[in-house]
Structure 1
Amino acid sequence: MDQHTPIVELRNIKTRFGAQRIHQNLNLQVFQGERLALVGASGCGKSVLLSAIALLTNPEAGEIRLFDQQVRNLDTEALKLMRTRMGMMFQQGALFTSLSLLENIMLPIRELQKLPESLIKELGMLKLQLVGLPSTAAHKFPQELSGGMLKRAAVARALALDPNLLLLDEPTAGLDPVSANAFDELLLELHATLDLTLILVTHDLDSLWRITDQVAFLGRKRVLCKAPMDELIQQEQPHIQRYFANTRATQAMNRNQAGEVL
């Protein structure tokens, strides 16, 4: 695929829940290697949009192109293959509580790749190591993990099939500042070493400054602007100005400019 061709392209997306319109003629392009955040006020449809990119929900209208393929034209097998090129980390982890951490990671590998069980287990352990979890965590159940470990476990499962695109819904939500910073560092490391494209939904202002190179601001049912953070905060559009005109946003910007880490 040409480097100038977006790996995610949304054209005139329309989404509604009942009578409520969420997106109206929304357009967005994401290119290989970008670290993009979807931001905006609560209720603007960030997670809904992420779910549509992950092919978990279908918009009412519009066109979704992934890896330069029109999703609407794909048959069942092609869609199945497309989904293996994406990994999704859900906000609450969405791990199966009846399975150990290692079993959670092995599950998609076992279902979608015909490999010996010993190799599947070895791959699962490699994913654990990749996200910085100790081998002793392999046989723990999700309810036995700390919040930070649970987030890393969810990423390990999302990476099980070696995706090109990693989607994350509120990855640092509920973490203390030290754990959130460590998780940001993990995402930067994974992005660099695995040649990933990242798309995340986040309200974490420190993460916006720290790990993104592009931010898409959602408002008025569409993408109002896509730009790096230092350009986005200079925008004169009222929705964007209001979002960043507060003490928390200013403090996060100042920490970034000073090179401080929480």
Structure 2
Amino acid sequence: MNLKNQLILKGFIIALLFLGTFTDTMAQQFNALVFSKTQGFRHQSIATSVRAIQDLSKDNVFSVYTSEDATMFTDKKLEKFDVIILASTTGDILNDEQKEAFKRFVQSGKGVVGIHSATDTEYNWEWYTKLIGGQFMHHPHQQSAILDVVDSNHPSTYHLPKKWLWTDEWYAFKNFNEDVNILIQLNEKTYDPGSKNGQSMGMGDVHPMAWYHEYDGGRIFYTALGHVDGAYEDADFLKHLYGGIWWAAMGYPIQ
């Protein structure tokens, strides 16, 4: 090979190495663990939600690792992640050692995102209840309702209209952490919350559906939406979800 061809080949190799380095760097905007273990009811939409988050990672340049293996919850395994996404988890999903590793992850300043039944998880763990913001209590049949976006000053709600018609499974909550910042509320005048002994099964004027807060050193975003498969094909919902993931992972100040 003559000198000219050697120089061309060398330049080509350097360019490939540079491109590879650039691509890897871009792919590491942040690292997310999507955890979808269930010990109670298992939502059909879990598989759809996981695929949707994987697609979001490709479009928005972050990396995703998916698992239902609770042995992921050790200090060593969690240290490479910036955010844990609880994709419709249910029941008691962690043992005592794994809970402590999860706490240390949050206390180190990292993020947690809860989707839908993440509030139907770890009922007997008070720290978790305050972290995620509340506990699922009940829901009526799936139906459409009006959502009131009460805070548009968050990446998960920048794009949403003040009034948002949405179809989902409408959770009511108990043991709600009033220190969270509510983003979206459910207008109970626009759907049938059901009744028991003649009393409405709704929550009244304050019926949160999405919120965020900082807790024990970390950042938490939760959305009660996402029961139905169709949510994960809806552009507005996916922007809502990604905005929460991005904020929880990156920790930039709310603008």
Return the TM-score normalized by structure 2.
0.30
Return the TM-score normalized by structure 1.
0.30
Indicate the structure with greater helix content: 1
* Larger relative contact order (CA 8 Å, sep ≥ 6): 1
Highest Rg: 1 or 2? 2
